[in-house]
Amino acid sequence: MRIDFSQPCVMAILNATPDSFFAGSRTADEAAIERRVRECLDQGADLIDVGGYSSRPGADAVAPDEEWRRVSTALGVVRRLAPHMPVSVDTFRASVAAQAAERFGEVIINDISAGELDPAMPATVARLGVPYIIMHMKGDPQTMQTLTDYRGVRLFRASGRGADGRGHPAREHRARPRIRIRQNPRTEL
């Protein structure tokens, strides 16, 4: 998969969830997913990010099978309507990442936890040979608002095994700075 990073790219968000942060982005069924994909294409998206697990603070936990059902439905719609559209899969689970790549071909994995919530993730994306976007989150959506002390946080560790320290090739690294809103009154924007 090649994405031209010499110019800014627009990543559209497709939340295949009933409880995402922004209510207008929620797509609970295949018809809603299809409408959202068409909207993304009409608005000129360069790639689409598909998620099946809300990372909204306080969101309910979702079982891996349910996350996969949501993600696979959305990926199926994207591949049907835009077969060559680059797609990222927003998941922290190695099992969902592996199923997505194995069933739908090359995808980008967008991991909100940088491998912290599923230690198998970095090795899985390295084995799959897919691009890996890592982000930082303390805890999980259910606990993140209570874990707001960011003193001493290090996001990247240099290592002979790649900048993530776990084996993903450094040439594939992309940073995705993300500012979390409402961590707590001291750190909120």
> Given this model, what pLDDT does residue 26 score?
73
Report pTM: 0.77
Average pLDDT, the chain: 78
pLDDT digits 0-9 by tens, 23-45: 666 787 999 999 999 999 999 99
List the helix and strand counts (H, then E) for the chain: 4, 6
Burial 9-19 (b: 16+ CB within 10 A, else e): eebbbbbbbeb
- Mean pLDDT in residue range 103-114: 90
Contact predicate 90/49, CB 8 Å: yes
pLDDT, one tens digit per residue, over 49-94 is 999 987 766 677 899 999 999 999 999 999 999 999 999 999 989 9
What does the pLDDT read at residue 164? Answer: 46
Strand-pairing partners, residue 14, are 50
How sure is the predictor about 12, in pLDDT bands with cuts at 50, 70 and 90?
A: very high
Return the percentage of the chain with pLDDT > 90, whole number: 45
